[in-house]
Amino acid sequence: MSWIIFVKYLHIIAAMMMIGGMFARQMVRTSAKNSGDIIIVASLLRAAGNIDQRLVIPSSNLVILVGIILAIIAGWPVLGFLQGATNNWLLLSKIVVIAILVVVFGIFVPGNRKLEPLIQAAQEQGQVTPELRQALDNKVIKWAHFFEEAAVIAIIALMVFKPL
């Protein structure tokens, strides 16, 4: 077995873990959003946070790291036409990854920082507060998660079909 095949295999496994974690996290967050019991809401939101911290983030980092290593050892033109190559699928996928990172650090991280105090305040009151409900119904975060999922699906299509 060649190193390229082995590294490609690691890249695929990391991507499967990342995608599985992303969709599991969203299912758990949706269940939390639909519950009216603060104990259940708090438990589910912490579970979603654990999925994020223990699965999505590490596997996302691994996907990026192994993907860079794979591109280097395979000799693929990471910068596409900027390197004089005719194939730009890898360049486009890197642009989409950067867009995802902007969403993560610009929307998700600040949103998660605001959520924890709202969960604690709601637990102290023994109910889902209007502020927590509003945070769970945040349309910007909802659309950001939709973008993240669609972007990952687009990257997979670029990796599989290499259309450009």
Residue 141 tokens read as 């975060």
Instruction: Read off the pLDDT of residues 11-59 as tens digits, 9 standing for 90 and up.
Output: 999 999 999 999 999 999 999 999 999 999 999 999 999 999 999 999 9
DSSP 8-class letter at 105: I
SS3 142: helix
Domain ranges of the chain: 3-161
Instruction: Give yes or no for a contact between 15 and 63, defined as CB atoms under 8 angstroms apart.
Output: yes
Instruction: Read off the pLDDT of residues 81-96 as tens digits, 9 standing for 90 and up.
Output: 998 888 899 999 999 9
